[in-house]
């Protein structure tokens, strides 16, 4: 193979992969949050689930991205394992659309498509139109890359050694293994199937050999979801197991069909002389038939996944860890699909963090009033956990932002970043209140019954405000108004109680040190109200952005 052919092959592959990524990103961006909304509102109906999975995957051109989203939703408890089965089945059907697009003979129109798409991206300002331009440009670049690869691979058909190597893929084991490994390496079945179609279109490989490689590619595509499930819940890992079982089952069935029946000859007869179309049709048939076979027994797949990954015995773990965040390193190739999952995970993790801060606020005054050292230690450990989550969530948001390509998504992530920071500050003020108990003991400060009653009242209103914050109402604007009125009440109480303190000082029933400590405590309570209102304001912004 000449140097020119190698350069042409590499250049064509680069354009093909870039075109696919560009088209996928454009499709995802144009779809916006609709994919997430559809998945969130999914019913338990298996037929609806398969249809939704197929449509979502057809839109974003990646079964891996859909499966990663499903793993994330199962991990956060937004979707059950049973619902995930149907989505995965549909995703395997939807991913075949890329192969069908490649099989279309539109090579001559490819440069024009690329030009129109790039012109829209460069010269037009409307964001929606630019996303559509990305789709058109990506499709054009993809086809240009296909033509380049096809031209570069034609000399390979004359190389007996290379053709001899590929004929070995007629051995089912070797073919399936090659397809699995190659797809696992590039983490995209759509791309690996496209490359296989380019080889077939150049006459280098026939359907008899390509079929088994194709089956292996369906198994290899599971690697992305498998990596994304690292560190997730048991059910999220089971989702990946179901994905693998689906493709392994399909591979076993179709391998036997190819060996025992004239399936290959039949597929060739449907589009004689058009090898890329033959591969696309076999790919679609593989996933549709496998889905139809497994659709009646989806519940069995769920039970098998539970048997394979049994529930672990609950062992108390003293180490700090995040619960709802997927590892970005394993899902960053999925772009916006990953950002949907990450966004939901961050929301869940921040609510978990807010619950911890609420508990510390609730018990802080009790620790202060009763000088409960054991309870103080519990609060301090929880405060360390809050600080840990603040650091981890903040780092995570920073990492995810680099994969977000919509203004709405970026705005939501910035709001979540602000929420996390405000929760951390609530935790700080709660621990301040609790630790004042040490100062009281050391300096033997005594509060009057009036001061104690006022502090208890401040603690009660802060408790109530955080309770309202954690239970967001359907009418977000009205809910935010309630939060604002409660925060104003705290401000009014702070001013009133500080004036009462001045009167007690004049009456001689409040010491200098006691008045300083009292003032610091009511300031801490007032700051808790401020940060709670800040959080509700950011939640309101998110709700408005998602509409």
Does one domain contain both 216 and 244?
A: yes
Q: Per residue in 452-492, pLDDT tens? A: 899 899 999 999 999 999 998 889 999 999 999 999 999 99
How many other CB atoms sit within 10 Å of the CB of residue 414? 15
Alpha-carbon distance of 293 to 215, in angstroms, equals: 16
Q: What pLDDT score does 524 carry?
A: 94
Of the residues 308, 340, 356, the one at which a domain ends: 308
Q: What pLDDT score does 30 carry?
A: 65
Residue 341, CA atoms < 13 Å, CB-side half-sphere: 32
Confidence of residue 331 (pLDDT cuts 50, 70, 90): low
Alpha-carbon distance of 354 to 547, in angstroms, equals: 24
| pLDDT higher at 493 or 39 | 493
Let me know if residue 317 belongs to a domain.
Answer: no
How many other CB atoms sit within 10 Å of the CB of residue 470? 13
Q: Per residue in 155-200, pLDDT tens? A: 766 666 656 766 777 889 988 998 888 888 777 777 788 888 888 8
Are 173 and 216 within 8 A, CB to CB? no
Secondary-structure breakdown of the chain: helix, strand, coil percentages, each rounded to the nearest 5: 85, 0, 15
Percentage of the residues of the chain whose pLDDT score is greater than 70: 88
Let me know if residue 316 belongs to a domain.
Answer: no
Let me know if residue 319 belongs to a domain.
Answer: no
Confidence of residue 113 (pLDDT cuts 50, 70, 90): confident
Let me know if residue 323 belongs to a domain.
Answer: no
* Token output for 26: 């454009």
Q: What pLDDT score does 333 carry?
A: 43
Most confident of 65-79, 185-199, 267-281, 308-322: 267-281
The pLDDT of residue 253 is above 80: yes
| pLDDT higher at 437 or 250 | 250
The pLDDT of residue 354 is above 80: yes
Confidence of residue 338 (pLDDT cuts 50, 70, 90): low
Q: Which residues touch 430 (CB under 8 Å, ≥6 apart)?
A: 357, 360, 361, 364, 379, 383, 524, 528
Let me know if residue 313 belongs to a domain.
Answer: no
Percentage of the residues of the chain whose pLDDT score is greater than 90: 33
Confidence of residue 532 (pLDDT cuts 50, 70, 90): very high
Let me know if residue 318 belongs to a domain.
Answer: no
Does one domain contain both 130 and 229?
A: yes
Alpha-carbon distance of 279 to 263, in angstroms, equals: 12
| pLDDT higher at 44 or 354 | 354
For residue 382, what are the domain limits? 328-546
Q: What is the CA radius of gyration of the chain?
A: 30
pTM of the model: 0.69
The pLDDT of residue 107 is above 70: no
Identify which of 76, 90, 72, 122 has the alpha carbon closest to the alpha carbon of residue 292: 90
Does one domain contain both 409 and 370?
A: yes
Q: Per residue in 372-387, pLDDT tens? A: 788 889 999 999 999 9
Query: What count of residues does the chain have?
Result: 547
Does one domain contain both 284 and 340?
A: no
The pLDDT of residue 498 is above 60: yes
Are 147 and 13 within 8 A, CB to CB? no
Q: What pLDDT score does 316 carry?
A: 44
Confidence of residue 32 (pLDDT cuts 50, 70, 90): low
CATH number for 402? 1.20.58.220
The pLDDT of 499-528, averaged and rounded, is 87
Q: What pLDDT score does 417 carry?
A: 95
Identify which of 488, 489, 490, 482 has the alpha carbon closest to the alpha carbon of residue 540: 482
Does one domain contain both 277 and 378?
A: no
Q: What pLDDT score does 315 carry?
A: 41
CA distances from 322 to 301, 354, 417 (A): 29, 14, 16
Does one domain contain both 192 and 123?
A: yes
| pLDDT higher at 421 or 147 | 421
Q: At what angle do helices 298-308 and 81-94 cross, to 10 degrees?
A: 110
Per the structure, the count of domains in the chain is 2
CA distances from 536 to 356, 415, 530 (A): 17, 10, 10
Identify which of 310, 279, 534 has the alpha carbon closest to the alpha carbon of residue 426: 534
Mean pLDDT of the chain: 83
Write down the H helix ranges in 262-315.
263-270, 275-294, 298-308
Are 264 and 207 within 8 A, CB to CB? yes
The pLDDT of 320-345, averaged and rounded, is 68
Identify which of 8, 216, 10, 201 has the alpha carbon closest to the alpha carbon of residue 103: 201
CA distances from 16 to 12, 140, 203 (A): 6, 9, 19
Does one domain contain both 78 and 194?
A: yes
The pLDDT of residue 318 is above 60: no
> By CB neighbour count within 10 A (0-12 exposed, 13-18 middle, 19+ buried), where does 394 fall?
middle
Q: Per residue in 414-456, pLDDT tens? A: 999 999 999 999 999 999 999 888 788 777 877 888 888 998 9
Let me know if residue 105 belongs to a domain.
Answer: yes
Confidence of residue 314 (pLDDT cuts 50, 70, 90): very low
The pLDDT of residue 334 is above 60: no
Does one domain contain both 259 and 382?
A: no
The pLDDT of 114-143, averaged and rounded, is 86
Pick from 125-129, 308-312, 333-337, 444-448: least confident: 333-337
Does one domain contain both 524 and 488?
A: yes
Confidence of residue 79 (pLDDT cuts 50, 70, 90): confident
Let me know if residue 298 belongs to a domain.
Answer: yes
* Token output for 355: 């619950």
Q: Per residue in 278-305, pLDDT tens? A: 999 999 999 999 999 998 888 898 899 9
Tokens 């058909």 -> residue: 157
| pLDDT higher at 27 or 252 | 252
> By CB neighbour count within 10 A (0-12 exposed, 13-18 middle, 19+ buried), where does 6 fall?
exposed
SS3 at position 311: coil
Q: What pLDDT score does 160 carry?
A: 67
Pick from 84-93, 172-181, 454-463, 511-520: least confident: 511-520
* Token output for 46: 């298996």
Of the residues 308, 341, 361, the one at which a domain ends: 308
Of the residues 308, 341, 375, the one at which a domain ends: 308
CA distances from 133 to 15, 406, 462 (A): 17, 15, 51
Does one domain contain both 369 and 446?
A: yes
CA 330 distance to own-chain centroid: 11
Are 239 and 71 within 8 A, CB to CB? yes
Does one domain contain both 108 and 203?
A: yes
Does one domain contain both 269 and 341?
A: no
The pLDDT of residue 33 is above 60: no
């Amino acid at each position: 193979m000449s140097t020119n052919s190698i350069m042409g092959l590499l250049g064509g592959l680069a354009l093909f992969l870039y075109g696919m990524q560009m088209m996928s990103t454009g499709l995802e961006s144009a779809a916006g949050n609709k994919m997430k909304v559809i998945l969130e509102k999914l019913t338990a109906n298996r037929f609806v689930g398969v249809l939704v999975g197929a449509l979502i995957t057809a839109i974003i051109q990646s079964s891996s991205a859909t499966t990663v989203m499903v793993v994330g939703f199962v991990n956060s408890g937004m979707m059950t394992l049973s619902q995930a089965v149907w989505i995965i089945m549909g995703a395997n059907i939807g991913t075949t659309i890329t192969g069908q697009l490649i099989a279309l003979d539109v090579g001559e129109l490819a440069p024009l498509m690329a030009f129109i798409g790039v012109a829209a991206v460069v010269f037009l300002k409307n964001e929606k139109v630019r996303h559509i331009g990305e789709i058109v440009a990506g499709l054009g670049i993809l086809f240009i890359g296909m033509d380049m690869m096809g031209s570069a691979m034609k000399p390979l058909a004359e190389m007996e050694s290379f053709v001899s190597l590929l004929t070995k893929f007629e051995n089912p084991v070797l073919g399936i293994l090659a397809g699995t490994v190659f797809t696992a390496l590039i983490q995209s079945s759509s791309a690996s199937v496209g490359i296989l179609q380019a080889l077939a279109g150049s006459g280098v490989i026939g359907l008899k050999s390509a079929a088994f490689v194709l089956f292996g590619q369906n198994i290899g595509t599971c690697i992305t979801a498998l990596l994304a499930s690292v560190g997730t819940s048991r059910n999220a890992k089971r989702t990946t197991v179901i994905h693998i079982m689906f493709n392994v089952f399909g591979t076993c069935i179709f391998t036997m069909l190819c060996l025992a029946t004239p399936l290959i000859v039949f597929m060739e007869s449907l589009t004689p002389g058009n090898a890329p179309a033959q591969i696309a049709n076999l790919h679609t048939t593989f996933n549709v038939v496998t889905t139809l076979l497994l659709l009646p027994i989806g519940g069995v797949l769920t039970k098998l996944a539970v048997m394979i990954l049994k529930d672990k015995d609950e062992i108390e773990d003293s180490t700090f860890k995040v619960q709802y965040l997927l590892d970005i390193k394993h899902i960053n190739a999925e772009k916006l699909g990953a950002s949907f999952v990450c966004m939901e995970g961050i929301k869940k993790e921040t609510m978990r963090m807010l619950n911890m801060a609420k508990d510390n606020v609730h018990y802080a005054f009790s620790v202060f009033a009763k000088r409960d050292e054991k309870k103080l230690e519990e609060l301090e450990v929880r405060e360390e956990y809050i600080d840990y989550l603040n650091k981890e969530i903040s780092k995570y948001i920073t990492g995810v932002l680099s994969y977000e390509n919509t203004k709405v998504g970026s705005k939501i992530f910035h709001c979540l970043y602000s929420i996390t920071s405000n929760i951390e500050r609530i935790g700080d003020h709660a621990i301040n209140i609790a630790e004042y108990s040490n100062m009281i003991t050391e300096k033997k400060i005594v509060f009057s019954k009036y001061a104690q009653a006022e502090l208890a009242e401040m603690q009660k209103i802060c408790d109530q405000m955080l309770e309202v914050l954690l239970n967001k109402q359907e009418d977000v604007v009205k809910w935010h108004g309630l939060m604002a009125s409660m925060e104003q009440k705290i401000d009014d109480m702070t001013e009133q109680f500080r004036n009462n303190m001045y009167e007690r000082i004049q009456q001689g029933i409040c010491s200098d040190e006691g008045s300083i400590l009292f003032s610091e405590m009511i300031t801490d309570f007032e700051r808790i109200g401020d940060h709670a209102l800040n959080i509700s304001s950011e939640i309101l912004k998110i709700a408005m952005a998602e509409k």
